[in-house]
Amino acid sequence: MAQRSCPACNAPDPGVLEAGLWECRYCGNRWNDPRPVCPSCGTVNELGTEVCVECGEPLTMLSRVFQRHTKQDTPLWLRQSRRRATDVKALAEEGSVGRMAALNEIDRVREQAQAEEHIKRKVRDRRLLTASLALFIVLVCLGVAAVIIASAK
Ligand SMILES: [Zn+2]
Ligand SMILES: [Zn+2]
């Protein structure tokens, strides 16, 4: 993976003015590049990458939040030594698998809640239908009784 450098003079380590807008420290050239740059190792990652392919540093809010949740109890020195390990890609993969599992779990819970809500609504509808049907029958019976009583007199 390439480190970012100025496309005009090829100077390394340009400054970022705002998200996606860059400025060369040497020649003042400005250019747009929305690809995320790893804050830890400076690697330019492809758009949509959530974890740095080089060192496993989270690049998006989502993965940052996720990593904070899962790695809260991991001491900083361990994280840093792990980051330097050779199988960082495996670690990054592990991270995305874990995130996928977390997202799947969220989906599953949501679907379950929706299914339960659906069943509840069905039961409610059925109760309402039964109640109105019972009321209707009672009214018909009363009507018939009234007609019978009226004609009997
Ligand atoms: Zn330049
Ligand atoms: Zn990195």
Ligand 2: distance of its center to the CA of 21 in Å? Answer: 19
Structural domain that includes position 73: 53-152
In a domain, 24, yes or no: no
Residue 10: inside a domain, yes or no?
Answer: no
Ligand 1 centroid from CA 70, angstroms? 40
Asked whether residue 86 is assigned to any structural domain, the reply reads yes
Tens of pLDDT, residues 28-69? 999 998 888 888 888 889 988 889 999 999 988 777 777 666
Q: Which ligand has an atom closest to residue 13 CA? A: 1
Q: How many domains does the chain have?
A: 1
14 C-alpha vs ligand 1 centroid, how far in Å? 8
Per the domain annotation, does 19 fall within a domain? Answer: no
| Residue 93 domain flag | yes
In a domain, 66, yes or no: yes
Q: 91-148 pLDDT, tens per residue?
A: 677 777 788 888 888 899 999 999 999 999 999 999 999 999 999 999 999 999 999 9
Ligand nearest to the CA of 6: 1
Q: Indicate whether 7 belongs to any domain.
A: no
Q: How far is the CA of 44 from the centre of ligand 1 (A)?
A: 17
Dihedral angle sign, alpha carbons of residues 121, 123, 126, 127: negative
- From the CA of 59, the nearest ligand is 2
1-15, 70-84, 99-113: lowest mean pLDDT where?
A: 70-84
Residue 85 confidence (pLDDT) = 61
User: What pLDDT sits at residue 130?
Assistant: 94
Taking Cα atoms as reference points, which of 63, 37, 52 lies closest to residue 89?
52
Q: Please state the rounded mean pLDDT for residues 75-82.
A: 64
How open is the CA angle 7-89-37, to the nearest 5 degrees? 30
> How much distance in Å is there from the Cα of 32 to the middle of ligand 1?
13
Cα 58 to averaged position of ligand 2 atoms, centre (Å) = 8
For residue 5, give the ligand nearest its CA: 1
Considering only the C-alpha atoms of the chain, give the largest distance between any 2 of them, rounded to a whole number of Å: 111
- pTM of this prediction? 0.37
Contact in structure between 12 and 21 (CB atoms under 8 Å): no
In a domain, 103, yes or no: yes
Distance linking the first and last C-alpha atoms of the chain: 101
CA of 27 to the centre of ligand 1 (A): 4
